[in-house]
Structure formats: structure tokens, C-alpha cells
Structure 1
């Protein structure tokens, strides 16, 4: 079991980021209070390279991260306007950690996909970028 703080970086569509933050930061403060997870979202003009998505950084225990991610996914469902379509969660993962997700011949990714009932896609490596996107698509 992991001790100490853990961190997670997600990408959030700009219009949904505003909804997660809420008026004068009220919604994000409520999420932090409920989950005991720190949640920071990049400024309205600060996007992840090559996207129009804002960057959300989550910090806390593994449990609080899970709770916070659940709240973010709930917001994605509520504010996407597409409740009939699966949600797509975009994780930003260091290049060095991607092999742990994919596994040998994709075995670990298939196992995770089956366990979590979702599709997992990993973006190709981009030169001079030290991170890759892991897209999780599911209900």
C-alpha cells in the first residue's frame, strides 16, 4: 500500500473545467472538502500541448484520489450534454509509467480493460514530450 501523497494529472474540456470550478470556486472547494483531495485546474488559457483541454492536478491519498476522480467523472457526465454516450477520461502519464499500464504484449491493458469494463488507448510517444495520454472510455 502506498503511503504519503499521490498525484494524478487529468485533462478536462474547457467548458467542463469551468463547471467543476464553479462560481467563485465553490464547486471545486466542495469537491475538495468531500474527497479530502487537493484539486487544481489550470487557468482558462493554459491548455495541455496539442489540445484545448485544461490540466487538472489531483493530490491526496489513493482513496481520496479515487473519490475525487469519481466526482470529476460525474461532472463529465453531467456537463457533457451526452449522457447517452460513454465518458472519456484522459490521464496524463509519464512515459516511464506507460509500460506498467500496457504490460507485455498489451496483457496488462487488456486485464485492466476487462476489470474496469472500459477501453484503454495510449497515445503514441511524441518527441520532446515526457508524458503520454491514456484514454479510458466507458460508461
Structure 2
């Protein structure tokens, strides 16, 4: 660390941008009725507060300004979340107050400095602020950023954010950062005349890869091993629920559907546009329930991809009798 860098910060008053990842409900609380809460936060803190597009279950809140303005904005957000927790507790029997939690989005190249050698920096932050700090092990999808979760009292969170800002200023990101952009809740997929289209704004855009998959699903022809030729399609998640289909899978085969850290099941979700829920293992049962929700086309595509996955595995094991459908 060069001493000049720290001194040039003076009272640490340099312009900085901090990105937060929030759920829709949290964003609603920050925006407030007719945007009054966020307007007040902008005016009182002096920070610029921008909120990403609205059709995603997750949103990015970007706070930019001199560091003292950023700390004021963070304080207002943390106290607002605490107020929401207190309000939600007034009609619940719970007695202990859960901590306030904020998720920062930080370029992965800066996370090493936040953690410190052998975890020394993050340990020091936890001990000196009383906040819990965790850096996610994996990068957020299609980005080079990681989520940093801070939880504790609003006061502990503010102290912790101050320390994180110092580290980020001392260790700027290395190389290009691909920012995390939350996926829309549903990019609708329409199947018409044997073609697949995704809706973007007011236009239906033909999607050749999905068309090919859809035609395969309709024909139920043998399929090349999944993941080798087919890219994942970000944004084709969860179409509006239309109908539901259930499958029963033997416990010892569920792993090949889920894949390492959920990669295969996420791939199937993205490609089919269906919602897929896997029930927890029931005691004494050797099977797991899978529930697929979506349009009939989404469901047939998801079923087809699951079957294709079994065919790949069965081909490896030479055991095709691997699935029962309920």
C-alpha cells in the first residue's frame, strides 16, 4: 500500500461507487410510496442512488458520491431496513430481532484484499465492527463480481461499509470488470408454428437454439449429450405458471440432474423456461419428487432435457431403466 494514496484521501472524501444487490421487496421499501423515500435519501445524503430495471426478482442499487455522502445513504438504508424488521415483528411472536442484512456487489479482483492474507482482514473487520461479513466463494452469474454479505445492527453495518470502502480505494479492481446484471424474472418464450421466440421489449425475436430444442422435444429423438453443444440461455427463466407436472426420481440419480453446485438443473431451467423444484429427501423414501411448472411447451422441453440427461448417464452406466414418471 502506497502511503501517498491514503494521505491523498485526506478525510477519505473521494468519489466512489458502491453497488448493492436487493430483492424486490427491499427495493420497494427503499423507493417508498411514489418514490418519496428514495427522493428523501438522495436529498439528505447528497449521494446519487440509481435502481436497475424493474422486471427482475433481484435489483442492483448503485450509490455514487463522495464517501461521506455514501455513508449517509448507507445509514439511511440500514435504518430503513431495521424499521421494516421491527414493523414485521410487531405482528409475529418472534422475540429476538433479526439483524439487518445488506449485500454488496464487489469486483472479484478486490475480494482478496477484503479477505486479507489467511482471512486476516475480514477477521479484523468482524472484530472491530461487530458485523458479520461473508464473501461469496463463487462469482455472480455471467459476471466477474462477488456478493459480500454484511449483517448486524445498522451501526455495525455502517462501520463495516466504511472499512470496506477504505480497502476498495486502496486496492482498485484489476483488469476489466464484467458487472453482474440480474436476469429478468421471465423473458417469455413463445412457441409458434414450430418456431421459438423470446420477447424483447415489444418484439418477438426468433431463437434458433430454442427452436431446435423445441423441435427435438416434440419429436423425442435421441439427443446429443447436454452441455456440449448447447449454450445456456441467460434470462429464459420461469415463465408464468400455466400448468404443473410431477416426476419421481430415485434418490441415487438426483445428483446427475442437479449437477455440480446446481449447474445442470440451472441449465435445464434456463433452456426450458420452466420452474423446476426438487423436493427434499423424505425419511425412509428412496425417491425424490420433481415439480415442473410452466407452459405446456416449457414443461415438455424441461421433461425432454431431464430425460436426455438420464440417457447420457444411462449410456455411461449402460442402464437405461433409470426413471419413473408419476
Q: Same fold (TM over 0.5)?
A: yes
1:116 to 125, 129, 143: 129
**Equivalent in the alignment of 2:148:** 134
Q: How many Å apart are 1:3 and its aligned residue? A: 5.5
Contact 2:14 2:67 survives alignment (8 Å): no
1:90-133 residue CA offsets vs partner (Å, 9 max, x unmatched): 00000111011100000000001111111111111337421000
Q: How many Å apart are 1:13 and its aligned residue? A: 2.2
Moved more, 94-103 or 77-86: 77-86
Distance 1:23 1:118 in 2: 30
User: Which structure would you say has the larger Rg?
Assistant: 2
User: 5 Å matches for 1:22-61?
Assistant: 22-46=32-56, 52-61=57-66
Aligned pair 1:19/2:32, yes or no?
no
- Stretches of 4+ moved more than 4 A in 1? none
Q: How many Å apart are 1:22 and its aligned residue? A: 1.8
Unaligned residue ranges in structure 2 (runs of 5+): 1-8, 90-95, 154-326
Contact 1:16 1:79 survives alignment (8 Å): no
Q: How many Å apart are 1:4 and its aligned residue? A: 4.3
Unaligned residue ranges in structure 1 (runs of 5+): 47-51
Distance 1:43 1:97 in 2: 26
Q: Secondary structure at the match of 1:85?
A: coil
Q: Secondary structure at the match of 1:93?
A: strand
Superposition TM-score, scaled by structure 1 size: 0.87
**Equivalent in the alignment of 1:85:** 98
Distance 1:11 1:128 in 2: 15
**Equivalent in the alignment of 1:102:** 115
Q: Secondary structure at the match of 1:72?
A: helix
From the two aligned structures, give the one with the greater strand fraction. Answer: 1
Q: How many residues align?
A: 134
**Equivalent in the alignment of 2:69:** 64
Distance 2:132 2:25 in 1: 24
